[in-house]
A and B are shown apart, each in its own frame.
Chain A
Amino acid sequence: MKLTAIISLLGIVLLGSTAAVLAQEKSCSFDLVGTWKAQLSPNEAILYRFDSKNTVTVLSAQENGEPQQIATAKYEVVNELGKPDSVVFTASGKNRIFGAVRKTMKLVSYDDTSITCAIPDSGTVRWTRVDPDRYFIVLAARKGEFYDKTGSAFPMVIKLAGAVPTIDAFGVYGGKDGRTFGTVPADVYKNYLREARNESETTLRLEINSRQYERALKVIKEWERRDREGALLYKTATETLDDATWLNNILVAKKVTETLNQCSADVNMYPLNYVHQDDWISNTVNSAFVPFYYFQELRKRNEARHIPDQKFQELVHLPNLASR
């Protein structure tokens, strides 16, 4: 009896440690491709344009005027123990890079929008990502739309290139045949971009960065594929009487939102982890309403960053909507 208890305890501890190791595996992917800016003074900055062919172009940018090319170089990201550790530059044009033909830049830290690096003879500098486009996420949910008092609930991710928005949305919505789980069509999601009007509606609109957008979009695309291929994670009603549609929709809402903080704690997140002490929603609310209360809780926690109606309409001009 004692031995059984000890073995069971050991099993629980080991399973717990496996879970703990997995929980720590939040990590930023390091992607240098794109434009990075080092601000030298209020009026002067250096731009580093990294392309996918391992070439970097260095430009000097003054406040008023076109950026001027200073140097070009080949670059290589060096990994140590499977993680990016440094970047080696080899000047390829007439000019040197960081005052030398070959220079190694040590990565101190990085996240979605910045890199802090140590350059020999130059000290520690911080680069910030320059993105010509803007990105948003909208979390919208309603109650009382369908016969069973449930309603639509889905995340939308928006890329604003110039004045043209591209929107992707996936979740539960009211389709032609009633409640539908899948890719939300444009004529439906248009009505959910606006501000919530009463207690049975909730909307959160946040500006995010390009990496957050790409991660959230990847989740949406994965679920579009699951829907298309009949590979939804939950297929049938379960023993807990939860409809598979709602469980799938919770997974979509959870996965899309949690990608936002994959690299750093940018959004004030609600822990939708089903742990009684942390998560009142999943422990007290029918699965059908979990996304609604989850989005509502996120709205409360990120009220200061929520984009008001008028500003959002100025930014995301729907008549310009790009077709998917």
Chain B
Amino acid sequence: MDRRSMLSRVFKPSPYSQGAAKFTNAVLRTQDNKEVRFYDDLIKGKQCVVNLMYAECHGACPLVTTVLKRTYRDLKDRMGKDVFFYSISVKPQDDTPEALKHYAEMRNVDLPGWYFLTGDTYDIETIRYRLFNMGHIGVDIDFAMHSGTFRIINDATNYWGHAQAFASQENILQRIAWADPYKTPAEWDVYARNLQAKIDKDVKKYGYRRGF
């Protein structure tokens, strides 16, 4: 498979994706003050992990960012190529691109494939509800209730899932893997072998299969 077809495979949306009608195509700004369209530039055909934060948050946000940083390390080879992280500010009125850049640099997470995003309050509110709403106003009205959740999306396969930020690292990686692109039979074979090797290792070391 040449590079061109590889790229078109990776970023081609699923025919079942609801596209911008669901995700919105709001104009946001990255920590580098680059203008991006939420669906067209960030979601379309891509696999991504989205979380909510704000720069001056001293509660859960820095811890959640640390969890994502660890996850980034584990996915390093794929980051910015077929997996992307989007940390969206829920206080866009305070969080300028510069403030988000500072936040990212202070935590050493200004990394390829990880975008800190800000924009218009109206658009951010729409995106927050589209990605994180639980159908319960008591939960949805307060963004803090979502700050410990990652939304996991793969628009190429129309996958939609989530992970809890305070779950085990293995659990988070497993949930991101569930959003991976469809595997070929050969890839499934490799995946199954690796999984069995891990189970065998666990059984040898602990006497049982660990994980999840």
Using a CB–CB cutoff of 8 Å, the interface residues on chain A facing chain B are 7-8, 11, 14-15, 17-19, 21-22, 222, 225-226, 230-231, 233-235, 238-240, 242, 247, 250-251, 254, 273-275, 282
Min C-beta distance of B105 to chain A, whole Å: 22
Given known pairs A14-B63, A18-B60, A18-B61, the reply for A7 and B166 (CB within 8 Å) is yes
Which residues from chain B sit less than 8 Å from chain A, CB to CB? 21-22, 24, 57-61, 63, 122, 125-126, 129-130, 133-145, 147-148, 165-166
- List A contacts of B148 (CB < 8 A): 11, 15
**Smallest CB–CB gap between B125 and chain A, Å?**
7
Q: Please, which residues of chain A bring their CB within 8 A of the CB of B21? A: 230
The 10 closest A-B pairs by CB, nearest first: A274-B138, A238-B135, A18-B59, A233-B129, A19-B144, A18-B144, A11-B166, A14-B60, A17-B59, A14-B59
A226 with B60, Cβ < 8 A, contacts A22-B144, A274-B136 known: no
Besides A240-B135, A240-B136, 7 more A-B contacts (Cβ < 8 Å) are: A8-B166, A14-B59, A18-B59, A238-B134, A254-B141, A274-B137, A274-B141
Contact A247 to B166, CB < 8 A, known contacts A14-B60, A15-B148, A226-B126: no
7 A-B pairs with CB atoms under 8 Å apart are A11-B60, A14-B63, A225-B122, A233-B126, A240-B135, A240-B136, A274-B138
* Complex Cα spacing A8 to B168, Å: 11
**A17 to B60 alpha-carbon distance, docked (Å):** 8
Q: What CA separation (Å) do A24 and B4 show in the bound complex? A: 52
Question: Closest residue of chain B to A272, judged by CB?
Answer: B137
Interface contact B129-A282, CB-CB below 8 Å: no
User: How far, in whole Å, are A226 and B127 apart by their CA atoms in the complex?
Assistant: 12
C-alpha spacing A166/B148, complex, angstroms: 44
Q: Are A242 and B135 in touch, CB under 8 angstroms?
A: yes
Knowing A14-B60, A15-B147, A18-B59, the reply to whether A233 touches B136 (Cβ < 8 A) is no
Query: For A18, what are the chain B residues with a Cβ–Cβ distance below 8 Å?
Result: 57, 59-61, 144, 147
**Measured CA separation A254–B165 after assembly (Å):** 30
- Decide: B63 and A234 in contact? CB cutoff 8 A: no
Contacts of A274 on B, CB cut-off 8 Å?
A: 136-139, 141
Among B57, B135, B147, B148, the most chain A Cβ lie within 10 Å of the Cβ of B135
- The CA-CA distance from A250 to B61 in the complex, in Å, is 29
Kindly report which residue of chain B lies nearest to residue A18, judged by CB atoms: B59
Residues of A within 8 A of B137 (CB): 247, 250-251, 254, 274, 282
Residues of chain B lying within 8 A (CB to CB) of residue A7: 166
Query: By the criterion CB–CB under 8 Å, are B60 and A231 in contact?
Result: no
When the two chains form their complex, are residues B59 and A234 in contact, meaning their CB atoms are under 8 A apart? Answer: no
Chain B's closest residue to A15 (CB) is: B60
Which residues of chain B come closer than 8 Å to A254, judged between CB atoms? 137, 141
Which residue from chain B places its CB closest to the CB of A225 in the assembled complex? B122
CB-based contact A19/B135 at 8 Å: no
Nearest CB on B from A276, distance (A): 10
Contact across chains for A231 and B24 when beta carbons are under 8 A apart: yes
Query: With the chains together, A225 CA to B136 CA distance in Å?
Result: 23
Cα–Cα, bound, A274→B125 (Å): 20
